[in-house]
Amino acid sequence: MKESALNLNFTIGEVSKILDIPIDTLRYYDKIGLLHSRNRDANKYRYYDLEQFDSLITIRMLRAMDVSIERIQALLQDNSLNAIRRLLSDKRQDIDRQRTYLKHLSHKLDVLDAQLQRFDNTEVIELVLSHPCWVLLTDSIMESADHGLGGKVQQQVRRINAREWLAFCHTISIVSQEHLIAGRYHNYLYNGILSTFPMEGDSSVFQKLEPRYCARKCVVIGRDDYAKMDDHYDQMKAFIRKRGLKIADHSLEVNLYNQYDNHYIEIYIPVEER
């Protein structure tokens, strides 16, 4: 008499090959009680039946969604669908957030690639319309007498959900319009963090920089060569004067990319007609 399909037994090695689940993982599931093997022979070999295949497929699906072992155990013990439906709703929201994140990441890669291409010719100064961005500003770290400034910035970042925002950020330094005109290029008004990832709804922490016309120059300097920034600022001011424009606001230094020995910086100086 033929054996019923549901009574077919498979060794742990056969299950591992069929479902592509490592043997060590199956043994672990058995040990912690997530899914016991149904039968063992005289040699204590583990055997699974077809019904347990469904359970293992369910477990693998949940693990693929990064559900913890503890939560999977609770879901399998639940005799209703309420918990799994809540889980699916939460996961759907996570996926939507990831889609947004990946969309911004793709855009960031395109923008950063275009920005780095400009460093092929650092002699170029051009008039551009800046992109909107969001900044978190602090007093100048180099000039502030507040020794707890770094901790305060950390508290500000922790107070908000800024993981995605920080993934797209650059450090910045701001020279005031007054110091810029006077040629005091290292008297920073603010330091901070800038990101192109939108961060709306917390004006107490973030400030949005609206698009505006600026003179822009790409600068490569060594780690200890910040004094060379003076010459680049002087070139930009000469460019602005030659075109009948004037400095309209504070300048912005954006640290785009740092190597051990080189810093790649974009300088923006807002301009307007005289």
108, 194 Cβ separation under 8 angstroms? no
Q: Which domains does the chain have, with CATH numbers?
A: 5-77 (1.10.1660.10), 107-273 (3.20.80.10)
50, 75 Cβ separation under 8 angstroms? no
pLDDT, tens digit, 9 for 90 and up, residues 5-27: 455 788 889 999 999 999 999 99
pLDDT, tens digit, 9 for 90 and up, residues 98-127: 898 888 889 888 989 999 999 999 999 999
**Percent of the chain clearing pLDDT 90 (strictly above):** 57
Global model pTM greater than 0.85: no
- Displacement of CA 23 from its chain's centroid (Å): 36
